[in-house]
Structures are given as structure tokens and as C-alpha cells.
């Protein structure tokens, strides 16, 4: 029978529940178990797709095209399992489903209520991910903080699940903050005690308490929390802030984290094989080269808006024994007068995805600078479209080149709607989402990176390259190196004579792993290392 683990958080938000969940997933997988992870988010949006990156960070896209919370990126990077549409549920989606069922008459005239209808919808979703993936263990993280009014239906639903499947098949982990008061030079347990009391008032007593802290805790702290929160002494585990988040599984396992979980769930499995992960962490700590990468975007004030991109850069850095120093450059602040000053000293320039016109002229200047100065350039989604527009204007002589997204009245829309797509439909929210195949042209930078001509990558965009400009741009020197299998959609472009100048319509960052860096990020970082003479 599938075992279910529920991870809640207390005291404050942003404690690292996602990293704790992801780390436990890695540890259990290292014991030979098939693990699935999911996130229950209390916000009323249907999904993360329409949310501002400034409010919620990046939107992580799964293979099947679900627009989800960024924590799913942590799950995939740690557990190395592709997640799906059943891995993220919001309050909005719950109510949407329930109200649609009510309109169809599926409740046979019943008065629709939070209990049982809303909680049943949540329970069905939690159970479904275990059935769909045939997982041995499902780890479910509940977003928000204990006591939030929005989280209450989710807490009630998982309480009911525990009752239905039995205590031997369910486990509750509560992640809380243990603050350190500088004035008295001591850690305080009272916030944790109150958080656990709040959770107990909802019918849930945590089996394991994970204590988030910046410094190692005294033994008395563990003893006190064990006594007042009614958990076994070895079930109080510290989660110390680390120099690198990929050390978290190893640190947690030093406290016997996965051993305790397996003991409490009755899982008779081997000790975790963490040899590869341990070697990776050792390799991370031994880095000696340095690479300066300029990330030119419009949401750089919140680094989480580009979380998967920055992590994918770091993964490639791990592979090449290099520290990746990201320069977060606001594209709105780049002008023709200051371009060289802002971008000087960079070993590579990356323009990531985004939506809307704001900041795009600065991105175009960055793409031009990279092209003319032969600095490695990597354009992702919008970054590819920017490269096409810059090339069309400044090389192919199409001075009024632009994108329909930026200006509907642009005379030369080198970036436009998908073929056959009307403006009304496009504005309705139809993005190309999820995994699509791509055929790579031989003897290109793309083929050298991937070492194959058949790939599949995840997309999240609405606009495409306008094939009406194909011949003119190709004759001017732009290489179209990747296409949809039927040849109708341009997926990738490059400048073959440039050390590394690549643009892709898709988001390769979503498939990068710390122990398996993505081929394009490897190619980009490798070229950037060469650009600075080895990076030492």
C-alpha cells in the first residue's frame, strides 16, 4: 500500500518546506523506493500561470504542460522524477472542480459545503497522484503557514486521509523556525510550541518536527521541544542553513531523517545509497574556476523569478568545476549610451523568458553587444525572439522588425502568433505548454551540445518565429538549427560562426539536474570559461 507523508510549516513562511520535502524524496529514492511529490497551494488562483513573478517567483512547467509552483522544480531537481498535472493543486482549482460538478448535477441536489465536498476533492487529488505514478511513497507539501485561514481545508483533508488509511500508512512532518535572540544569546522554542499547538487544535499531531535554524542547536532545545510537543526525542531534527542547498539531504540524513521516516511507516528497505550525491557535493565544494554571467531580465529584483535558470547555470558550473557569479541586470536600465559599461567584464550573457514589451529594448541591446563582441549568448524563449529581432534590425536591414506581442501594428512582425492562430484565440490564453519534440539540424551548435538530432523540451510561450522572414534572415547569416517534426515551427536559432550564440523557443532550465546538467547550459558555460581564459 502507498504510504503518505504530509509536510506542513509553522511560525513563518519561506522556511524551506520545499527543500525539506525534496531532500526527503531524494533520501527515500536512494533507499530504492519509488517516490512522488506534490504541492497543495492555498491561493485562489487556478494555477501559477497568471501570477506575477514578483509575487510568486517563476512558473515551473511540467512535461504534460501544467503551470505550477516553483517548489516543483526543487522536487524534480532533487528526486529526478518528472512530475505532472497531479503534482500541484490550488484552492482555486478545487473550487473550480467542485462548482463544475455542482452545475452538472453530480451532487444530486446536495448542499455543497467545505466538508465533505471541498475536502473530498482535495483527498481525491492526493490519492490520485499515488495511483497514477504507482508510487511507494507520496510526499505532500501543504503551502502557507499553520493558522492561515486559506490552509484549513487542506489540513482537514489530510487529517481525514490519515484516519482513512491508518497511522501506519501516514506521517506528519512539521517544519518550524527556531529564532535566535541576539540580546539574550539563546534560541527560543516558544514559537514552535505554539505552532504545534495550533496544528493539534486542527486534529493533527506531528510525528517529526524539523527545526529551521542558522546555527547548531543546543541539546536542551531538542529535549524541550520533544517534551512540550509530544514527539519522540530522535524525531526532533535540525535543518541548518547551508552554503549550498544540495547539501541538505546529507545533513538531514546525519540526524537519521529517512531512517526515522521508514521506521515509523514500517518500510523495510536498505540503507540509502548516497554515494553519487555525496560525490556531487564534494565536487561542488572543490570548485576553483570563476565565470561571470550577465542575466539580463525584467524581473531581476526577485531572483526566484528565474530560479530554474540560475540553478541550471550552477549545475553546469558544478560540471566544469566553476563558480557561476550571476550579475542580475535590469534590462530597463540598459541604454545605447551605457551598454558597454553595464555589460563589460562578462563571460556570457543570458536573456531568459518573460512576457510583455517592458525592458525588451534593453535586451535587444544586450543581444547586439554579445553578437558584435563575440561574447557567448544564450536566449531562452523571449531571449530567442529578442535575438531574432536584433538580427533582423541590425544585420538583415529590417529596421522596423519587432513582435506582435510588443506592437500589434508593427510593420515587420518577425515574431507573431502561431500559424493559423487568430488574435482573439491567442489573447484567450492559449500557450504552447509542456513537452514538444524538436528535430536538430546536423553540424550545428545545437547538435554539438545535444549530440543527437532528436530532442524533447518543455515550452511556455504564445508567439512563434514568422516563417515569412525565413529566407531573408537565413540569407543574411542566421542559422535555423531546430524545427518541429513537420518543419513548420522554428524551435532554435544560432550564429554558427559565433563561439556560442544560441536561442531556443523552449525552457531547457526545467530539465536540468545538479548531477545531470542540461546540454545547452553546459555548452554555454564551457564557452564562457574559454572566453575568460579558463576562469581561474
Burial of 219 from C-beta contacts in 10 A (0-12 / 13-18 / 19+): exposed
pLDDT of residue 430: 72
Summarize the annotated binding site for Mg(2+) as residue ranges: 71, 141
CATH number among 3.40.50.880, 3.40.50.700, 3.30.1330.60, 3.40.190.10, domain 288-532 = 3.40.50.880
Summarize the annotated binding site as residue ranges: 13-19, 54, 71, 141, 148-150, 188-193, 224, 242, 354, 382-385, 405, 462
| Cis before 116? omega within 30 | yes
Distance CA 336, CA 339 (A): 6
- CATH fold group of domain 3-165+240-280: Rossmann fold (3.40.50)
* Range(s) of the chain covered by CATH 3.40.50.300: 3-165+240-280
- Phi, psi torsion values for 114, nearest 5 degrees: -60, -45
Residue 3 three-state SS:
strand
DSSP 18: H
Residue 445 three-state SS:
helix
pLDDT of residue 240: 93
What residues does 377 pair with on adjacent strands? 349, 501
- Taking phi over 0 as left and psi of -120 to 50 as alpha, with beta for the rest, 533 belongs to left
Output the nine-digit C-alpha cell for 461. 510561450
Segment 250-253 long-range contacts (CB within 8 Å, at least 24 positions apart): 250/274, 250/277, 250/278, 250/281, 252/20, 252/23, 252/24, 252/27, 252/210, 253/27
- Rg of the Cα atoms in the chain: 25
The answer to whether residues 403 and 463 touch, using CB atoms and an 8 Å cutoff, is yes
| Cis before 263? omega within 30 | no
pLDDT of residue 316: 97
Q: In the chain, which residues have pLDDT < 70?
A: 419-429, 534-536
Question: The pTM is what?
Answer: 0.94
- Phi, psi torsion values for 352, nearest 5 degrees: -85, -175
pLDDT digits (tens, 9 = 90+) for 70-98: 999 999 999 999 999 999 999 999 999 99
The answer to whether residues 178 and 217 touch, using CB atoms and an 8 Å cutoff, is yes
* Range(s) of the chain covered by CATH 3.40.50.880: 288-532
pLDDT of residue 420: 58
Q: Tell me the CB-side half-sphere exposure of residue 114, using CA atoms within 13 A.
A: 10
Which residues are marked as active site?
381, 507, 509
pLDDT of residue 185: 84
What angle, rounded to 10 degrees, do the helices at 307-319 and 519-531 form? 70
pLDDT of residue 427: 43
Amino acid at each position: 500500500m502507498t504510504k503518505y507523508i504530509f509536510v506542513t510549516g509553522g511560525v513563518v513562511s519561506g522556511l524551506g518546506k520545499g527543500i525539506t520535502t525534496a531532500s526527503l524524496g531524494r533520501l527515500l529514492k536512494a533507499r530504492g523506493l519509488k517516490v512522488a511529490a506534490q504541492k497543495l497551494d492555498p491561493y485562489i488562483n487556478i494555477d501559477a500561470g497568471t501570477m506575477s513573478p514578483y509575487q510568486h517567483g517563476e512558473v515551473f512547467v511540467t512535461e504534460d504542460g501544467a503551470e505550477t509552483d516553483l517548489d516543483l522544480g526543487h522536487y524534480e531537481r532533487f528526486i529526478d522524477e518528472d512530475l505532472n498535472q497531479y503534482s500541484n493543486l490550488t484552492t482555486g482549482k478545487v473550487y473550480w472542480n467542485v462548482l463544475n460538478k455542482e452545475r452538472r448535477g453530480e451532487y444530486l441536489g446536495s448542499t455543497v459545503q467545505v466538508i465533505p465536498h471541498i475536502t473530498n476533492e482535495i483527498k481525491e487529488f492526493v490519492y490520485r497522484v499515488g495511483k497514477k505514478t504507482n508510487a511507494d511513497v507520496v510526499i505532500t507539501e501543504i503551502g502557507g503557514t499553520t493558522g492561515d485561514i486559506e490552509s484549513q481545508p487542506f489540513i482537514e483533508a489530510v487529517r481525514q486521509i490519515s484516519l482513512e488509511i491508518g497511522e501506519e500508512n501516514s506521517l506528519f512532518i512539521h517544519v518550524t523556525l527556531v529564532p535566535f535572540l541576539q540580546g539574550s544569546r539563546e534560541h527560543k522554542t516558544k514559537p514552535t510550541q505554539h505552532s504545534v499547538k495550533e496544528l493539534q487544535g486542527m486534529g493533527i499531531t506531528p510525528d517529526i518536527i524539523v527545526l529551521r535554524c542558522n546555527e547548531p542547536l543546543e541539546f536542551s532545545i531538542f529535549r524541550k521541544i520533544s517534551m512540550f510537543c509530544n514527539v519522540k526525542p530522535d524525531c526532533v531534527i535540525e535543518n541548518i542553513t547551508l552554503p549550498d542547498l544540495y547539501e541538505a539531504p546529507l545533513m538531514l540524513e546525519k540526524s537519521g531523517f529517512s531512517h526515522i521516516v521508514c521506521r515509523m511507516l514500517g518500510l523495510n528497505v536498505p540503507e540509502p545509497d548516497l554515494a553519487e550525491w555525496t560525490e556531487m557535493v564534494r565536487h561542488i565544494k572543490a570548485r576553483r574556476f570563476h565565470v561571470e554571467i550577465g542575466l539580463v531580465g525584467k524581473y531581476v529584483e526577485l531572483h526566484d523569478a528565474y530560479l530554474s535558470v540560475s540553478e541550471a547555470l550552477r549545475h553546469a558550473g558544478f560540471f566544469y568545476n566553476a563558480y557561476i557569479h550571476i550579475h542580475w541586470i535590469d534590462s530597463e536600465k540598459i541604454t545605447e549610451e551605457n551598454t558597454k559599461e553595464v555589460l563589460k567584464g562578462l563571460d556570457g550573457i543570458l536573456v531568459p523568458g518573460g512576457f510583455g514589451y517592458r525592458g525588451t529594448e534593453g535586451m535587444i541591446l544586450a543581444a547586439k553587444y554579445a553578437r558584435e563582441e563575440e561574447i557567448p549568448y544564450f536566449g531562452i524563449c523571449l531571449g530567442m525572439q529578442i535575438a531574432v529581432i536584433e538580427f533582423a534590425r541590425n544585420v538583415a536591414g529590417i529596421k522596423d522588425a519587432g513582435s506582435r506581442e510588443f506592437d500589434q501594428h508593427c510593420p515587420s512582425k518577425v515574431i507573431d502568433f502561431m500559424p493559423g492562430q487568430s488574435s482573439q484565440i491567442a489573447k484567450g490564453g492559449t500557450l504552447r505548454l509542456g513537452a514538444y519534440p524538436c528535430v536538430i539540424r546536423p553540424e550545428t551548435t545545437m547538435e554539438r551540445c545535444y549530440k543527437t538530432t532528436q530532442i524533447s523540451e518543455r515550452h511556455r510561450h504564445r508567439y512563434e518565429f514568422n516563417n515569412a522572414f525565413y529566407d531573408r534572415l537565413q540569407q543574411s547569416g542566421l542559422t535555423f538549427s531546430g524545427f518541429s517534426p513537420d518543419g513548420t515551427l522554428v524551435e532554435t536559432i544560432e550564429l554558427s560562426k559565433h563561439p556560442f550564440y544560441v536561442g531556443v523557443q523552449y525552457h531547457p532550465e526545467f530539465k536540468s539536474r545538479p548531477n545531470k546538467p542540461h546540454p545547452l547550459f553546459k555548452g554555454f558555460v564551457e564557452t564562457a570559461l574559454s572566453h575568460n581564459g579558463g576562469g581561474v
